[in-house]
Amino acid sequence: MQSTDGPLLIDSDPQFAFLKDLGLNADNKGVFNGSWCGSGEIVTSVCPFNGKPIARVQQGTKEEYNTAVENSIEAWHDWAKIPGPKRGEIVRQIGDALREKKTELGKLLSVEVGKILPEGEGEIQEFVDVCDYAVGLSRMFGGNVFPSERPGHALLEQWNPIGLVGVITAFNFPIAVYGWNTSLSLACGNTVLWKGAPSTPLVSVAITKIMTETLIKNGISPAVCTMVNGGADIGEAMSHDNRIPLLSFTGSTEVGNKVGTAVQKRFGRSLLELGGNNAIIVMEDADLDMVVPAVLFASVGTTGQRCTTTRRLIVHESVHNQVLERLKKAYQQVRIGNPLEADTLYGPMHSQMGIDLYDKAVADAQAQGAKLEYGGKRIDRDGFYVEPTIMSGLKHDADIVHTETFAPILYILKTKSLEEAISWNNEVKQGLSSSLFTQNLERIFQWMGPHGSDCGVVNVNIPTSGAEIGGAFGGEKHTGGGRESGSDAWKQYMRRSTCTINYSKELPLAQGIKFE
Ligand code: NAD
């Protein structure tokens, strides 16, 4: 069970002493709006692997939020004037500061989110990688020059910063998602206001300390990176705030729908990274030695709490039983334990709420005709542990199969053909990630083409999770349509000016119009 009473782990347990090296204390101020403050509700961060309180954070009030917006806009005027490559140099230093603290920050993700250490450190590495990417970008975000139809005219695009970017993040990738948005925003000349999940407040405080220390060291206003800890109240304020021209939201489809609607109503721009319901398709010609570890990683990794977790496994009928049996054997070998211990592969869920969602989904699936093939129960130990679970026998269009349950439950479905499997892949509302395992070249190109997967991430012979930062990341349909991270995702953080310059002494009009 979860408890906010009792001694705080940061003071009482030597395993948690490293948090002090990240500037965290028993009681922390949860707002940075140019200086550290926080006089709202006090929240206690709870450790998922033992259910005990780690430390307290005092969230922000509406007034403190308001000051954060004002100060960040004020800071924007100077920040936007700094040449792009010089801003890139600051982002490089932020990346270096993160590199230095990679171990401690990775451990912070283990104790506050519940991730195993390699995944925690991987998340920091992702932020570092995006910083490197943004440093290059700061010298490269160029506009096109087009041939003008008018003599003595130049026609070109200039990309300008957009202003203050709001970033709302989910509990499961609190650092990497903030990192994608912030590195690109800073390189592009924007300032940032971050609201993390209320259950990961220590992450928000520790990362903001690193960001602002680097800014101060360089004589730059630290209000370039503001942060307000809070819940739906602060998130809603950001959605309705005209002073935030771009709001990047990562979280559930349900909340993202509200955010997207509110931002659209004020003609703001939103970037939505919402829920997924990802499938792996396994054809009869697939290399099953690759399929089994790939499915294991994608369905069990991060205890099923990735937006890209594989939730549906669609297997050709001729290899279905073989894949299921091999997968069950692989599940038996998953080492469940404390995420801080080196050989643990599978840690706790993030919170009691996750366990309740898991219990409900297992019961609902059984009521809808599922057979429990593996797991299905809570694990009797301290913290929020459940068994990784496989269920078979459901119809491809059962309600529960079409629902994103943010828990380690995999539904295995039997298919007759690739065409049928693709139609099942595409029939859910979400459109984030998808994978096909096959050795057949024709099938691969069918999968990638117009009648293939309708997702934003379309993989072949790799799992649905574990994206690289170089490609644009995001999904279609109820996943929101946003793209963050690599490729040309930076364009979303800028405003495009189409500039026509007449350097002649005549005034010809476009389309040959005479207006004399
Ligand atoms: P959530 O929607 O409950 O919360 C996300 C954030 O929204 C939190 O910071 C929360 O405080 C805030 N919020 C809550 N109500 C709000 C409101 N009315 N207005 C504005 N903000 C509000 O999601 P969660 O449980 O933290 O995260 C899990 C979900 O996030 C899953 O659906 C997962 O698929 C999704 N996710 C998607 C991606 C992606 O890149 N597509 C990445 C990570 C997580």
The three-state DSSP-derived secondary structure of 16-78 is HHHHHHHCCCCEEECEECCCEECCCCEEEEECCCCCCEEEEEECCCHHHHHHHHHHHHHHHHH
Q: What is the pLDDT of residues 340-391, one digit of tens each?
A: 999 999 999 999 999 999 999 999 999 999 999 999 999 999 999 999 999 9
Burial class (CB in 10 A: 0-12, 13-18, 19+), 513: exposed
Percent of the chain surpassing pLDDT 90: 98
For the CA atoms of 109, 110, 116, 119, the dihedral, rounded to the nearest 10 degrees, stands at: 10
Place of tokens 């912030």: 182
Domain 9-274+482-495 has CATH 3.40.605.10: yes
- pLDDT-derived band at 1, boundaries 50, 70, 90: low
Ligand 1: which residue has its CA nearest to atom 16?
Answer: 232
- Ligand 1 atom nearest to 484, measured from its CA: 40
Note the pLDDT of residue 501.
Answer: 98
Pairing of strands 164-168, 246-250: parallel
Give one word for 220, left, alpha or beta, with left for phi > 0 and alpha for psi -120 to 50.
beta
Query: What is the chain's percent helix, strand, coil content, to nearest 5?
Result: 40, 20, 35
273 is catalytic: yes
At residue 120, does pLDDT exceed 80? yes
Query: What is 183-213 written as a DSSP string?
Result: HHHHHHT-EEEEE--TT-HHHHHHHHHHHHH
Note the pLDDT of residue 516.
Answer: 82
- Kindly report the backbone phi and psi dihedral angles of residue 312, in degrees, each rounded to the nearest multiple of 5, phi listed first: -125, 130
At residue 3, does pLDDT exceed 70? no
- On whether the CB atoms of residues 222 and 72 are closer than 8 A, the answer is no
Place of tokens 């003595």: 152
For the residues 95-107, what does the mean pLDDT come to?
98
For the residues 331-336, what does the mean pLDDT come to?
98
Pocket test for ligand 1, best of 41, 62, 119, 172 (most atoms within 8 A of CB): 172
Ligand 1: which residue has its CA nearest to atom 23?
Answer: 251
- On whether the CB atoms of residues 467 and 306 are closer than 8 A, the answer is no
Percent of the chain surpassing pLDDT 70: 99
Q: What is the pTM of this model?
A: 0.98
Place of tokens 């026609």: 155
How far is residue 122's CA from residue 425's CA, in Å, rounded to a whole number? 28
* Ligand 1 pocket check for 128: Cβ under 6 Å: no
At residue 322, does pLDDT exceed 90? yes
Place of tokens 């009521």: 367
- Kindly report the backbone phi and psi dihedral angles of residue 499, in degrees, each rounded to the nearest multiple of 5, phi listed first: -115, 125
Give domain limits for the chain. Answer: 9-274+482-495, 278-471
Q: What is the pLDDT of residues 149-162, one digit of tens each?
A: 999 999 999 999 99
Q: Which of 37, 225, 307, 455 is flagged as catalytic?
A: 307
Query: Each residue of 485-495: b (16+ CB within 10 Å) or e?
Result: bbeebbebbbe
Which of 2-16, 81-95, 135-149, 433-447 is predicted with the least confidence, judged by mean pLDDT?
A: 2-16
For the residues 152-175, what does the mean pLDDT come to?
98
How far is residue 157's CA from residue 173's CA, in Å, rounded to a whole number? 35
How far is residue 394's CA from residue 314's CA, in Å, rounded to a whole number? 11
Q: What is the pLDDT of residues 290-300, one digit of tens each?
A: 999 999 999 99
- pLDDT-derived band at 4, boundaries 50, 70, 90: confident
At residue 2, does pLDDT exceed 80? no
Ligand 1: which residue has its CA nearest to atom 41?
Answer: 273
- On whether the CB atoms of residues 436 and 283 are closer than 8 A, the answer is yes
Considering the chain, what is the average pLDDT of its residues? Answer: 97
At residue 58, does pLDDT exceed 70? yes
For the CA atoms of 404, 408, 413, 419, the dihedral, rounded to the nearest 10 degrees, stands at: 60
37 is catalytic: no
Note the pLDDT of residue 5.
Answer: 78
Place of tokens 């995006």: 130
Q: What is the pLDDT of residues 272-318, one digit of tens each?
A: 999 999 999 999 999 999 999 999 999 999 999 999 999 999 999 99
Least Cα distance to 187 among 68, 323, 79 occurs for 79
What CATH fold (topology level) applies to the domain 278-471? Aldehyde Dehydrogenase; Chain A, domain 2 (3.40.309)
